[in-house]
């Protein structure tokens, strides 16, 4: 998968995308991530990317031209026959969910636009972006952190990226419930023990214990994920706001 990111702070992306699962996926060529400095698509001497809003008001608004040019540039590199998803990160967008991440993981090419300041010229929203995404009902200082969250959530679902396909399946939002508690060595630490069943070697009992713990945790923490009969109901209708 090819992911292009357009930002005025390209340096934000360097470190997080070098490590762990995503770093490895990039090394192996499963993920190609290119980060573009929006200022490279300005044409004035001072590389201006924002201006005061027409009609007055507080703050600054990001100019349309650099975004139009940047996306044209990214599209120019696209593989024949593919149409990239051009995603504007904004608290006004649809919520990022596991389901949407899975959908995006099937795309060949994503272009992520990261606005800053008070906002972005509406023409970018209307004519350049094909999708708008929010990472939650809170406001952060710009789209960069949101883009990193999207890259992580989507990148790990790209086929071949996770060493063990099973790990994606048992992740909390991919499996029928939240994951229960886990323990590792030592068996006793500062007087704190590990449930006996986990050390019993009885695989049937261990599986049952994990299932029961997952059920309890889901009921305690996210009861809205379960139906009245205790069945999992993570589905598009309830959690994807379209």
Residues 6+ apart with CB under 8 A from 40: 70
88, 129, 150, 198, 233 from 125: Cα distances, Å = 7, 5, 18, 52, 33
Establish if 177 lies at the interface with ligand ADE (CB under 6 A): no
Establish if 19 lies at the interface with ligand ADE (CB under 6 A): no
Determine whether 53 is an active site residue: no
C-alpha closest to that of 206 among 214, 197, 215: 197
Task: Give the CB-nearest residue to ligand ADE.
Answer: 146
Report the site for ligand ADE in 104-163 (rule: CB under 6 A): 134-136, 138-140, 142-143, 146
**Do 111 and 85 meet the contact criterion of CB atoms below 8 Å apart?**
yes
Number of residues that bind ligand ADE (CB under 6 A): 12
C-beta closer to ligand ADE: residue 147 or 214: 147
Residue from 90, 101, 177, 218 that binds ligand ADE (CB under 6 A)?
90
CB of 169 to ligand ADE, least distance (A): 27
**Do 174 and 34 meet the contact criterion of CB atoms below 8 Å apart?**
no
Pairing between strand 109-113 and 85-95? parallel
Establish if 59 lies at the interface with ligand ADE (CB under 6 A): no
Helix (H, G, I), strand (E, B) or coil at 176: coil
Q: Would you give the DSSP letter of residue 163?
A: S
Catalytic residue from among 100, 116, 125, 156: 156
- List, by residue number, the catalytic residues: 91, 118, 156, 171
Q: Which residues contact ligand ADE (rule: CB under 6 A)?
A: 89-91, 134-136, 138-140, 142-143, 146
């Amino acid at each position: 998968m090819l992911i292009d990111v357009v930002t005025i702070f390209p340096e934000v992306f360097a470190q997080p995308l070098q490590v762990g699962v995503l770093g490895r996926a990039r090394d192996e060529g499963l993920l190609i991530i290119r980060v573009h400095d929006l200022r490279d698509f300005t044409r004035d001497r001072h590389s201006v990317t924002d201006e005061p809003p027409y009609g007055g008001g507080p703050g600054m608004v990001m100019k349309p031209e650099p975004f139009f040019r940047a996306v044209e540039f990214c599209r120019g590199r696209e593989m024949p026959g593919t149409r990239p998803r051009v995603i504007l990160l904004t608290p006004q967008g649809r919520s990022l969910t596991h389901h949407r991440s899975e959908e995006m993981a099937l795309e060949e090419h994503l272009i992520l636009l990261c606005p800053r300041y008070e906002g972005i010229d509406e023409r970018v929203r209307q004519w350049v972006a094909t999708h708008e995404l929010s990472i939650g009902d809170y406001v952060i200082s710009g789209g960069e952190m949101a883009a990193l969250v999207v890259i992580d959530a989507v990148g790990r679902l790209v086929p071949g990226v996770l060493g063990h396909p099973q790990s994606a399946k048992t992740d909390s939002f991919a499996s029928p419930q939240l994951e229960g508690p886990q323990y590792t060595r030592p068996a006793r630490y500062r007087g704190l023990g590990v449930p006996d069943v986990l050390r019993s070697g009885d695989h049937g009992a261990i599986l049952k214990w994990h299932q029961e713990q997952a059920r309890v945790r889901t009921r305690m923490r996210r009861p809205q994920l379960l139906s009245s009969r205790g069945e999992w109901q993570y589905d598009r209708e309830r959690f994807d706001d379209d």
